[in-house]
A and B are shown apart, each in its own frame.
Chain A
Amino acid sequence: MRILRRWRQPASWSIFRQDDRLLLILIAVIVGTCSGLAAVVLNRSLIAMFEWLHHFRHYWWSFIIPAIGAALSALFLDKMVKEGAGHGVPEVIYSVSRYGGLMRFRSSFSRLISSCLTIGSGGSAGPEAPVVMSGAAIGSNIAKFFSLNDRQRVTIVGCGAAGAISSIFNAPIAGMVFSMEIILGEWKAANIVSIAIASVAGTEISRILQGNQIAFSHRLFNVGHLDIVACIGLAIISAAASILLTRLLGSMHGVSKKIPFPTWMRAAAGGCAVGIIGLFLPVVLGEGYHPLRTMIEGVYTQGIGIVTVAFLAKILATSLTLGWGGSGGIFAPCLVIGSLAGLTYHRGLLLLWPSVPWVNEGCFALLGMAGLVSGMLQAPLTGIFLIIEITGSYEVILPLIIVSVISTTLCHYIEPASFYLKELVEKGQLLRQGTDRSVLSDLSVQELLEKDCMVVKQNMLLRNFINIIKKSHRNYFPVEDERTGHFLGIIHLDDIRPYLFNPLMYDAVVLGQMMDTNVEVVYLDDDLSEVLQKMDANRVFSMPVIANKKFIGMISKATLLDKYRKELMVQTDL
Chain B
Amino acid sequence: MKFSLNDIARCLDLPVSTVDRWIRQGRIPIHRNGNACIFKKSVLEKWAFNHSMPFFLPNEEKEIYKGQNPDLTNLLPAMQLGGVFHDIKGADVESVLKSAVDKVPVLSINKEKLYKRLLEREALTSTGIGKGVAIPHPRAPLPEEIDKPLIITCFLEQSIDFAAVDDKPVCVMFLLLSRSIKNHLHLLSRLAFCVRDDLFVEFLRTYPDTSSFLSRIADCENLLDETD
A and B touch in the complex (CB under 8 A): yes
A contact residues vs B (CB 8 Å cutoff):
9, 11-12, 17-18, 100, 148-152, 442-444, 446-447, 449, 467, 470-471, 563, 566, 569-571, 573
B22 CB-CB contact with A under 8 Å: yes
Q: What are 23 of the A-B contact pairs (CB < 8 Å)?
A: A9-B33, A11-B31, A17-B29, A17-B31, A17-B38, A17-B40, A18-B40, A18-B43, A100-B25, A149-B23, A151-B27, A443-B18, A447-B18, A447-B21, A449-B15, A467-B227, A467-B228, A563-B18, A566-B14, A566-B53, A569-B51, A570-B22, A573-B51
Question: Which 4 pairs from chain A and chain B are nearest by CB?
Answer: A149-B26, A151-B26, A150-B25, A447-B15
Find out whether the CB atom of B17 lies under 8 angstroms from the CB atom of A152: no
Q: How far is the CA of A68 from the CA of B125 in the complex (A)?
A: 99
Question: Which of B17, B29, B51, B227 touches A566 (beta carbons < 8 Å)?
Answer: B51
With a cutoff of 8 Å between Cβ atoms, the chain B residues found around residue A447 in the complex are 15, 17-18, 21
B164 CB-CB contact with A under 8 Å: no
Q: Which residue of B lies closest to A574 (CB)?
A: B27
Q: How far is the CA of A281 from the CA of B97 in the complex (A)?
A: 112
With a cutoff of 8 Å between Cβ atoms, the chain B residues found around residue A571 in the complex are 27
Find out whether the CB atom of A12 lies under 8 angstroms from the CB atom of B25: no
CB proximity of B226 to chain A, nearest CB, Å? 11
Find out whether the CB atom of A570 lies under 8 angstroms from the CB atom of B27: yes
Q: How far is the CA of A152 from the CA of B25 in the complex (A)?
A: 8
Q: How far is the CA of A499 from the CA of B31 in the complex (A)?
A: 55
Q: How far is the CA of A564 from the CA of B53 in the complex (A)?
A: 13
Q: How far is the CA of A569 from the CA of B24 in the complex (A)?
A: 17
Find out whether the CB atom of B51 lies under 8 angstroms from the CB atom of A442: no
Q: How far is the CA of A425 from the CA of B227 in the complex (A)?
A: 60
Q: How far is the CA of A154 from the CA of B38 in the complex (A)?
A: 22
Question: Which of A9, A150, A563, A570 touches B24 (beta carbons < 8 Å)?
Answer: A150
B contact residues vs A (CB 8 Å cutoff):
14-15, 17-18, 21-29, 31, 33, 38, 40, 43, 50-53, 227-228
Q: How far is the CA of A2 from the CA of B51 in the complex (A)?
A: 36
Q: A471-B228, A566-B53 are in contact. List 16 more A-B contacts (CB 8 A).
A: A12-B33, A17-B31, A17-B40, A148-B26, A150-B26, A151-B26, A442-B25, A446-B15, A446-B17, A467-B228, A563-B18, A569-B51, A569-B52, A570-B28, A571-B27, A573-B51
Q: How far is the CA of A471 from the CA of B227 in the complex (A)?
A: 12
CB proximity of B167 to chain A, nearest CB, Å? 25
Q: How far is the CA of A467 from the CA of B28 in the complex (A)?
A: 43
With a cutoff of 8 Å between Cβ atoms, the chain B residues found around residue A471 in the complex are 228
Given contacts A467-B228, A470-B228, A566-B51, is CB(A149)–CB(B25) below 8 Å?
yes
With a cutoff of 8 Å between Cβ atoms, the chain B residues found around residue A152 in the complex are 26
Find out whether the CB atom of A12 lies under 8 angstroms from the CB atom of B24: no
With a cutoff of 8 Å between Cβ atoms, the chain B residues found around residue A151 in the complex are 25-27
Find out whether the CB atom of A12 lies under 8 angstroms from the CB atom of B15: no
CB proximity of B143 to chain A, nearest CB, Å? 25
Q: How far is the CA of A447 from the CA of B18 in the complex (A)?
A: 6
Q: How far is the CA of A9 from the CA of B32 in the complex (A)?
A: 10
With a cutoff of 8 Å between Cβ atoms, the chain B residues found around residue A569 in the complex are 51-52
CB proximity of A436 to chain B, nearest CB, Å? 17
With a cutoff of 8 Å between Cβ atoms, the chain A residues found around residue B38 in the complex are 12, 17
With a cutoff of 8 Å between Cβ atoms, the chain A residues found around residue B50 in the complex are 573
With a cutoff of 8 Å between Cβ atoms, the chain B residues found around residue A150 in the complex are 24-26
Q: How far is the CA of A573 from the CA of B23 in the complex (A)?
A: 15
Q: How far is the CA of A100 from the CA of B21 in the complex (A)?
A: 11
Question: Which of B21, B33, B40 touches A442 (beta carbons < 8 Å)?
Answer: B21
Q: How far is the CA of A100 from the CA of B18 in the complex (A)?
A: 16
With a cutoff of 8 Å between Cβ atoms, the chain B residues found around residue A563 in the complex are 18
With a cutoff of 8 Å between Cβ atoms, the chain B residues found around residue A573 in the complex are 50-51
CB proximity of A94 to chain B, nearest CB, Å? 16
Q: Which residue of A lies closest to B227 (CB)?
A: A467
With a cutoff of 8 Å between Cβ atoms, the chain B residues found around residue A566 in the complex are 14, 51, 53
CB proximity of B69 to chain A, nearest CB, Å? 13
Q: How far is the CA of A9 from the CA of B24 in the complex (A)?
A: 14
Q: How far is the CA of A423 from the CA of B22 in the complex (A)?
A: 29
Q: How far is the CA of A471 from the CA of B228 in the complex (A)?
A: 8
Q: Which residue of B lies closest to A442 (CB)?
A: B21
Q: How far is the CA of A449 from the CA of B33 in the complex (A)?
A: 27
Find out whether the CB atom of A149 lies under 8 angstroms from the CB atom of B24: yes
With a cutoff of 8 Å between Cβ atoms, the chain B residues found around residue A12 in the complex are 31, 33, 38
CB proximity of A454 to chain B, nearest CB, Å? 14
Find out whether the CB atom of A570 lies under 8 angstroms from the CB atom of B15: no
Q: Which residue of B lies closest to A565 (CB)?
A: B52
With a cutoff of 8 Å between Cβ atoms, the chain A residues found around residue B40 in the complex are 17-18
Q: Which residue of A lies closest to B51 (CB)?
A: A569
With a cutoff of 8 Å between Cβ atoms, the chain A residues found around residue B33 in the complex are 9, 12
CB proximity of A8 to chain B, nearest CB, Å? 12
With a cutoff of 8 Å between Cβ atoms, the chain A residues found around residue B26 in the complex are 148-152
Find out whether the CB atom of A570 lies under 8 angstroms from the CB atom of B51: yes
CB proximity of A466 to chain B, nearest CB, Å? 11
Q: How far is the CA of A9 from the CA of B33 in the complex (A)?
A: 10
Q: How far is the CA of A417 from the CA of B26 in the complex (A)?
A: 30
With a cutoff of 8 Å between Cβ atoms, the chain A residues found around residue B25 in the complex are 100, 149-151, 442
CB proximity of A153 to chain B, nearest CB, Å? 8
With a cutoff of 8 Å between Cβ atoms, the chain B residues found around residue A17 in the complex are 29, 31, 38, 40
With a cutoff of 8 Å between Cβ atoms, the chain A residues found around residue B23 in the complex are 149
Q: How far is the CA of A563 from the CA of B14 in the complex (A)?
A: 9
Given contacts A12-B31, A151-B27, A573-B51, is CB(A444)–CB(B22) below 8 Å?
no
Q: Which residue of A lies closest to B15 (CB)?
A: A447
CB proximity of A558 to chain B, nearest CB, Å? 15
Q: How far is the CA of A149 from the CA of B27 in the complex (A)?
A: 9
With a cutoff of 8 Å between Cβ atoms, the chain A residues found around residue B227 in the complex are 467
With a cutoff of 8 Å between Cβ atoms, the chain B residues found around residue A443 in the complex are 18
Q: How far is the CA of A449 from the CA of B14 in the complex (A)?
A: 11
Most interface-central of B22, B43, B51 (chain A CB within 10 A)? B22
Q: Which residue of B lies closest to A569 (CB)?
A: B51
Q: How far is the CA of A353 from the CA of B77 in the complex (A)?
A: 105
Q: Which residue of B lies closest to A563 (CB)?
A: B18
Q: Which residue of A lies closest to B50 (CB)?
A: A573
